[in-house]
Amino acid sequence: MLPITCSSLHFPAPLLIIIISCLGLIVILNHLISLFKWIFHTCFRPETDLAGTYGSWALVTGATDGIGKAMAHELARKGLNLILVSRTAKKLEMVACEIRDKHPGTRIETIQVDFSGEFSAGLRRITEVAMELDLGVLINNVGVTYPGAMFFHEVEEEVWRNLVRVNIESTTRVTKAVLCGMLQRKRGAIVNIGSGAGVVAPSHPLFTIYAATKAYVHQFSRSLNMEYGQHGIHVQCQVPLYVATKMVSRVASIKQNSLFIPTPEGYARAAIRAIGYEPISTPYWAHSIQWCFARLIPDPLLDAWRLSIGMRRRNYIKGQKN
């Protein structure tokens, strides 16, 4: 009996055309399904009743600026009481007053914590309120990055140590501080703010440690969601790209919002709507489009593009210093 080889297989031309057409149809249908899902998720999917599903209180770290402040306002608009956490007592009180003026019925607690230093005392207070109150939602938003684009050997040790403390250690320890209460109540939502730097691009040169800390947040969130989903606790990593915040303005020279760069308020509205759904989410619609196109670019080209952007920013900062 002769072995069957590829060269011995012959398909009639019409059959071959049918096979290729079917494969093409499957690919097209797959993309259409993804498109319809994206439209539904972006425009028509109902929001989760956060207070009813998870609890009446939300804790937000980094709550006095940018995304954190905007999310605190949005959570108050949704009827949740707030625990605001930040390092500056005066700014905490200012934000609390702003929210009370707009949403008079909101109860607000403030906790002063500097996550770049020794924060054990603040963490104990977070643990206490997480047990005392019906804490249903945690927004781990606090984060820092480099002062500007630079090669790894140029990053001072204190700078990268601070990145690790704030972006990794604070997220990990605050999450653990609230988990016990959530486990007792058998419900809760933990939202960790990641970054496209740690997920979307295959690499993020000249911001290497920052990207690595955000990659940790991504994997940390995915694994926790698998561990605690069975206990009624939903863990989500949100992956924003550029948002018009002070931090982005400093490191990326972005001065104002645009179609693909939302204001913190615009991002926060989309972010709150996404809570309770996918474990990894890019809530803002224009960011998800950017991510989709980034996936189509070969990794070497995307890496080279990221490096060229980093070099331009590095040279721009060096020129300002000179």
Active-site annotation, residues: 210
Other C-beta atoms within 10 Å of 224: how many? 22
Name residues whose C-beta falls within 8 Å of residue 241's C-beta, 6 or more positions apart in sequence.
196, 200, 260, 282, 284, 287, 290, 291
What spatial distance separates the first Cα and last Cα of the chain, rounded to whole Å?
A: 80
Residues 244 and 254 sit within 8 Å (Cβ to Cβ) = yes
What is the residue whose two structure tokens read 């104990």?
Answer: 124
Q: Which of 55, 62, 104, 44 is nearest to 80 (CA)?
A: 55
Long-range interactions of 245-252: CB distance < 8 A, separation 24+:
245/65, 245/66, 245/67, 246/65, 246/66, 247/66, 247/143, 247/144, 247/145, 250/147, 250/148, 251/145, 251/146, 251/147, 251/148, 251/149, 251/207, 251/313, 252/313
